[in-house]
Amino acid sequence: MAIDQRGPSLPHARGVLSAAVTGSLRCGTALPDESAVRRADPYGDDLQLALYVCYELHYRGFAGVDSSREWDPDLLRVRAALERRFLDALRRDAARHDDPGEALAELLVEPVHGAGVSHFLQDEGQLWQVREYAAHRSLYHLKEADPHAWVLPRLWGRAKAGMAAVEFDEWGGGRAERVHARLFADLMADLDLDTTYGHYLDAGCAEMLATVNLMSLLGLHRSLRGALVGHFAAVEVTSSPGSRRLALAMKRTGAGPAAEFFYSEHVEADAVHEQVVRHEVIGGLLEEEPQLAGDIAFGVDATGHLEDRLAERLLLAWRTGETSLRVIT
């Protein structure tokens, strides 16, 4: 038995599914049955937290949990049921395109009146809202690029080379102090947030968990490699303009130099990454496997769907002066 000592603590449960999964990891109690999964809201706190916990075993694990549980067959069966429930909902609600070029083209059209989170934070966001945004995003950015690395063994040729080139940049080009996860931790320090990996898991809303779970879901399944590439493309296409607005938000609210630098760094880098992903990763993958076009488009669509849900959640809270965090930590 190899008990992890350095990972984050297991989160507090948000319902019967997450209670059963965390209870099983903590003290070996029974896992949930598939009927409970079928009854759950696919986008809700309970299912999304249960799925997040299952996936986290493939990253840094949890303190006090046997690391061998990563490949526990009973837990993997539960994870598969959670994934089916989530993926079925995404295919029903998000799939809009068959052509990846058309799906990406929509992302390039900026609304006449910006209504997204980055627009809000740039124009009128307050420092407390910037801090909340960073706390939510820490669930991904403190492991930035890691979920996408799962796809590398599933690609070859131009697609693999292009993907590896972008990932190398995300990991600091070989310089530890330039790893983007490190830069985000510096941003959090500027904002007087706790930089401990996983610290804000209890605070993160279901909509934020879902955006991270999508990356893990697509990355961990070879059959979804096309969708993972579509997801990655959607992120890179939208990152540069969004990061420009967020850099301005950090400057306007006095968030600090490291906070401003994290986003200004992404403006130029992700503009280059967009071209690499479009021409080398997507182009190379379609050259080798043209039948994956629909999967790539689905990855783009699912990403936009979940990001829109997250934006709606955050802006609804902020425009009424309320916190978007589930708990204040």
> Is the dihedral angle over the CA atoms 234, 56, 308, 194 positive or is it negative?
negative
Distance CA 320, CA 84 (A): 35
Location of structure tokens 């993958």 = 285
**Strand, coil or helix: 3:** strand
Q: With beta carbons less than 8 A apart as the criterion, state whether 327 and 202 touch.
A: yes
Beta pairing partners, 66: 3
What domains sit in the chain, N to C, each tagged with a CATH number?
16-92 (no CATH), 98-318 (1.20.910.10)
How far are the Cα atoms of 114, 177, 216, 327, 329 from residue 240, in angstroms, in the given order? 15, 21, 23, 31, 30
Distance CA 102, CA 293 (A): 11
Q: Is the pLDDT score of 122 beyond 80?
A: yes
Q: With beta carbons less than 8 A apart as the criterion, state whether 255 and 191 touch.
A: yes
Q: Is the pLDDT score of 271 beyond 80?
A: no
Q: With beta carbons less than 8 A apart as the criterion, state whether 127 and 255 touch.
A: yes
Distance CA 282, CA 163 (A): 9
Q: Is the pLDDT score of 142 beyond 90?
A: yes
Backbone angles phi and psi of 144, in degrees to 5: -55, 135
Q: Rounded mean pLDDT of 275-284?
A: 94
Q: With beta carbons less than 8 A apart as the criterion, state whether 281 and 163 touch.
A: yes
Distance CA 167, CA 177 (A): 15
pTM tops 0.85? yes
Q: With beta carbons less than 8 A apart as the criterion, state whether 107 and 234 touch.
A: yes
Beta carbons within 10 angstroms of residue 112's beta carbon: 6
pLDDT > 90: percent of the chain: 87
pLDDT digits (tens, 9 = 90+) for 211-263: 999 999 999 999 999 999 999 999 988 888 999 999 999 999 999 999 999 99
- What pLDDT does 91 receive? 98
pLDDT > 70: percent of the chain: 97
Distance CA 13, CA 192 (A): 27
Q: Is the pLDDT score of 112 beyond 70?
A: no
Beta pairing partners, 3: 66
